[in-house]
Every structure is written in C-alpha cells, then in structure tokens.
Structure 1
Amino acid sequence: MDSTETKKLIGARIAIARKANGFNQDQLAEEVGVHKQTISRWESGKRAPNGEEVRLIVETLNCSADFILGLTDTLKIGGGND
C-alpha cells in the first residue's frame, strides 16, 4: 500500500469512527485541537494525522488506534484502546 492509499484508508477510518460517535467535523476538530479544514483534509486523504493527533483522535472517539491505522477492520467504540 502506498502513501496515498494509506492516507485515504486512515481518512476513511477517521470518518467512520467520527460518525459512529455522533461527532461532526467541527466537534472533532475542537476536541483534537485542530481546524475543521484539517479534519476534512484527513478524511479526504490529502494528509494524515501525526502520532500525537492519532492519539488524540483515539482518545476522543474512544476507539482503537489499530482501527484508525487500518490494522483491524473491527471498530470497537468504548472498548478501550487496543
């Protein structure tokens, strides 16, 4: 998987987890401490979050980093950070 495909995968996973938690892009941006445009860029695959941003996303959305990073296809909300 190349860099572009990886960014798109991560972006799609962020969008799935965000929606599963009932967040809109503005709300997630506020919680993570970034601009709404940053969330949009992540979700569209134009850029990817850095390690600290992934940690904040995982904490905010209460999902696993493995799901966000595409290491598992199972989204577990509230199950702890695997």
Structure 2
Amino acid sequence: MMNIGKKLISYRQHNRLSQEELALKMHVSRQTISNWETGRTYPDIQSLLLLAELYHVTVDDLVKEDVKKMEDKLTQLKIRWLMIGIATSIILNYLAFASIRWIPIGIACMLVGTFTTIGVIMIYFYVKLTRSLQLRTFK
C-alpha cells in the first residue's frame, strides 16, 4: 500500500470522520474512499486538492513520499531496460561477428559498428543514471 492510504486514514480519523461522511463531503462514494485508503486506486488531482483543503494540509503533505516511491520505480525500470539493451547489444555484436562467414564483410562491419555504437550509448546512459543515483559498489 502506498503511504497516501495510511495518511488518508490518519487524517480522516484525526478529523473524526467516517468513510461515509468523508465521501459525502468529497462528493464520491464510500467505496472510492475505501479504495484510496487501501491503495487500490489513487485520488485524482481534484480530489487531492479537496482533501488537502478539507484536512488543512498541503497536497505535498499528502503525496510527497509516494512521488519518491514512483520515481524510484521509474528509475529501476530504466536501469532494467538499459541492462536488457546492453545485453542485447552484446549478443547482436557476437552474431554480427559470426555472420562474417555468410554475408559480405562490408555489411558485417557495418552491423558490428552499429551494434557497438548502440551498446556504447546505452552504457553511457547507464553510467550517467547510476552516477545521478550515487550508487557505489563495495570494495
């Protein structure tokens, strides 16, 4: 469950509101409130603004930690795809070298050059991304 669900429960209970009472104030169903609190769905921006106003907090107070989690997931996905791309580039390079036996050497060299360039670009972005995250290896 995302942190916003826990925060919504806490703010609602602090204001001594039931899910039904909050739903009436928000002009949504009680089920919608329940879905937000359990993390099944996420409030849209209008609902976040209304919740922030209702609870006398900022939208940032409601979503700040969730945004960080979303950014972390996106970064992990980028790293995963870069690693897949690098591995694919290495495999394609190997196949391009092996293809010298079957295709003209000029075409094989262009394939090797293309796949090497793609691999180097992906490695550059991987290094840039890991440096921005300040990832360190153990010595």
TM-score, normalising length: structure 2 = 0.44
Partner of 2:43: 49
Partner of 1:34: 28
Q: Choose between structure 1 and 2 for higher RCO, CA contacts under 8 A separated by at least 6 residues.
A: 1
Long gaps (5+) in structure 1? 72-82
Cα RMSD after superposing both structures: 1.3
Partner of 1:67: 61
Letter in 1 for 2:3: L
Larger Rg: 2
Long gaps (5+) in structure 2? 66-139
Shift of 1:63: 1.9
TM-score, normalising length: structure 1 = 0.71
Q: Any runs of at least 4 consecutive aligned residues in structure 1 with deviations exceeding 3 A, and if so which? A: none
User: What count of residue pairs does the alignment treat as equivalent?
Assistant: 65
Determine which structure has the larger helix proportion and give its number: 2
